[in-house]
Chain A
Amino acid sequence: MSLFKRTPKPTVTVTYVSASGNKREVAVPVGTSVMEGAISNGVDGIIAECSGACMCATCHVYVDDAFLDRLEPIAETEEEMLSSAFAERKPNSRLGCQIRVTANLNGLMVTTPEAQQ
């Protein structure tokens, strides 16, 4: 019955590290966001109150340096939201909802702050 088999969506592995160092490896579908990967897998530390509208800055993550230059640049809205985020804005700060997962992000590691609000 292969006719009816759904082709699985391609995924990449994203590792979410909590502020206290706990790691969760999650298969995140290409095209979805780092925030969505966390929410749909019950990863703690990401709240996403505004559902990805870049409005609440509660999906703040620190991106592993090795991946920073593979990300799309920070848009102005994201920059402004980050500068008002609850946890400290660092050079590797991003909003999880604004990082679309692509094939070349396989192995991406992000750390969540101690608190989002």
Chain B
Amino acid sequence: MSGGVVIAGAGQGGFQVAASLRSEGYDGSITLIGDEPSLPYHRPPLSKGFMARKQDAEATDLRPDSFYREQRIELLTGERIIWIDASNRRALLATGGQVSYQHLVLAAGARNRLLPVPGARLGGVCYLRTRNQAMKIRGRLGDARSVIIIGGGFIGLELAAVASSLGKHVLVVECGERLMSRVVAPIISDFYRELHCAHGVIFKFGVKTEYIAGRGDKVSAVVLNDGTSHPADLVLVGIGVVPNTELAETCDLRVADGIVVDQHMRTANPDVYAIGDCALHPNRFSGGTVRIESVQNAVDQARCVAAGIVGRPYGYQAVPWFWTDQFDIKFQMVGLSQGCDRAVTRGIPESRMFSVLYFKRQRLVAIDSVNRPSDHMAGRKLLACGTPLTPEQATDTSVDLKSLVA
């Protein structure tokens, strides 16, 4: 094999690079390398519809296998690049072969942060990232009665919602003082705590896991650092991810909290790009560099790289957006709220339809919307255009946000 584009990682971002290269008219060879056994698939449903058995595995495939043939995308599944020889533009594969490249895209993703406590390796302790892990959890959920979820972030809460909807006894353990605290305002954390409580989910805040008790393939309890012990037959851990940067280190690329890239998603080596969960990139909405774990980020950065490779480069400046579905509530986020100095509420939380608008030095930086998709969609445009908006306009529900977009 020689030349062309080699993509390390066949998740949403890696897939999109391949697809966008073809739709941009790229005619060279494309090799898409993923370490999972299956076709590339959508991850978001794994903790939502797929987990609730509303979707089967095939329905989460990004495209059928015919797509890769027709688009002349060579898909290597169950394969991994283990070393990059940048001076010779070739990558060594785990199974022993090698591929040479003209452009290499690192779409290596991230891996789950592991719980560093005794018992964390017991069979009944599960993490969620891959479809195989999701299938395992789905199987175990069937027999489980008591589920303990460690981590009150998006993954933990989506799993809590599914498990409690299936009639399980669910306890969520969060070491911080509120839910999704890294990204949302307290009013939204409170709303979600109440929503879950109304469905019977129990929370423990400000505590850490001391150890997990059990034997072999079975867990029996989670013991917390306040001395309490909680029976469980399934423990699900969602405490964040660590970017996969090791591959970049094999060819001495700069790595911080992610692989360092410029606004074209290019590393210091002009032949090598990085995108998605593993890429620490300059972002106009963060005012610095940031690593973002989202479908939108992976897909839009993939498009940016594909455009660059075919000779139509542009600086990455897509508006970040994200969503989570828990019970019957649609929560949509746009922009980056970190570092905001003011948050105002639009609508009434009790009505289960409200948004929080975040400001930094009197500029709108993000909108989180609970069942208010019009605010979300208006937010995408307001943020993309940098349209000025005052907190007073933001809280006035008689002001149609969309009408403010120039």
A residues touching B (Cβ–Cβ < 8 Å)? 32, 36, 39-42, 49-55, 76-77, 80-81, 83-84
> B residues within 8 A CB of A42?
63-64, 66-67, 70
CB distance from A109 to the nearest CB of B (A): 22
Residue of B nearest to A51 (CB): B42
> A residues within 8 A CB of B376?
80
B59 touches A84 (CB 8 A): no
> A residues within 8 A CB of B371?
77
A52 touches B45 (CB 8 A): yes
> What is the predominant secondary structure among interface residues of chain B facing chain A?
helix
> B residues within 8 A CB of A49?
295-296, 299
CB distance from A37 to the nearest CB of B (A): 10
B323 touches A84 (CB 8 A): no
A50 touches B330 (CB 8 A): no
Tell me, yes or no, whether B58 is within 8 Å of chain A by CB. yes
> A residues within 8 A CB of B60?
51
The CA of A41 and the CA of B65, in the complex, are separated in Å by 10
Which of A41, A50, A81 is B373 in contact with, Cβ under 8 Å? A81
B58 touches A40 (CB 8 A): yes
Tell me, yes or no, whether B214 is within 8 Å of chain A by CB. no
B330 touches A40 (CB 8 A): no
> A residues within 8 A CB of B62?
39
Tell me, yes or no, whether B313 is within 8 Å of chain A by CB. no
> A residues within 8 A CB of B70?
42
CB distance from A81 to the nearest CB of B (A): 6
A40 touches B59 (CB 8 A): yes
16 residue pairs of the A-B complex, CB under 8 angstroms, read A39-B62, A39-B63, A40-B61, A42-B66, A51-B42, A51-B45, A52-B45, A53-B44, A53-B45, A53-B323, A54-B330, A76-B373, A77-B373, A80-B373, A83-B377, A84-B402
> B residues within 8 A CB of A83?
374, 377
The CA of A83 and the CA of B405, in the complex, are separated in Å by 14
A84-B377 contact, Cβ under 8 Å, with A40-B61, A42-B66, A51-B42 = yes
The CA of A80 and the CA of B295, in the complex, are separated in Å by 21
The CA of A84 and the CA of B378, in the complex, are separated in Å by 8
Residue of A nearest to B377 (CB): A84
The CA of A55 and the CA of B45, in the complex, are separated in Å by 13
Tell me, yes or no, whether B49 is within 8 Å of chain A by CB. yes
A36 touches B295 (CB 8 A): no
A77 touches B330 (CB 8 A): yes
The CA of A52 and the CA of B70, in the complex, are separated in Å by 24
Q: Which residues of B, 57-95, contact A by the 8 Å Cβ criterion?
A: 58-64, 66-67, 70
